[in-house]
Amino acid sequence: IKSQRSNVREYLYKFLVVGDLGTGKTSIIKRYVHNIFSMHYKSTIGVDFALKVIQWSPEIVVRLQLWDIAGQERFGNMTRVYYKEALGAFVVYDVTRPQTFEGVRKWKADLDSKISLPEAWGGGNIPVVLLANKSDLIGEGHGQHANPTEMDTFCKENGFIKWFETSAKDNTNIDEAARHLVTTILGIE
Ligand code: GTP
Ligand code: MG
Identify which of 67, 69, 88 has the alpha carbon closest to the alpha carbon of residue 19.
69
Spatial separation of the C-alpha atoms in residues 26 and 32, rounded to whole Å: 10
Give the model confidence (pLDDT) of 156-189 as tens digits: 999 999 999 999 999 999 999 999 999 999 999 7
pLDDT number for residue 2: 59
Ligand nearest to the CA of 48: 2
Any ligand 1 atom below 6 A from CB of 25: yes
Any ligand 1 atom below 6 A from CB of 103: no
Q: Tally the C-alpha atoms within 13 A of residue 139's C-alpha that lie toward its C-beta.
A: 3
Spatial separation of the C-alpha atoms in residues 146 and 136, rounded to whole Å: 13
Give the model confidence (pLDDT) of 101-149 as tens digits: 999 999 999 999 999 999 999 999 999 999 999 999 998 777 788 899 9
Q: In 13-142, which residue ranges form alpha helices assigned H by DSSP?
A: 25-34, 79-83, 99-114
Do residues 168 and 133 lie in contact, with contact meaning Cβ atoms separated by under 8 Å?
yes
Q: Taking the CB of residue 178, how many other CB atoms lie within 10 A of it?
A: 23
Any ligand 1 atom below 6 A from CB of 31: no
Residues near 13 by beta carbon (within 8 Å), at least 6 away in sequence: 62, 63, 64, 65, 87, 88, 182, 185
Distance in Å, CA 57 to ligand 2 centroid:
31
pTM: 0.96
DSSP E strands, 95-149: 128-133
Mutate to test the pocket of ligand 1, among 18, 33, 34, 41 (most ligand atoms within 8 A of CB): 41
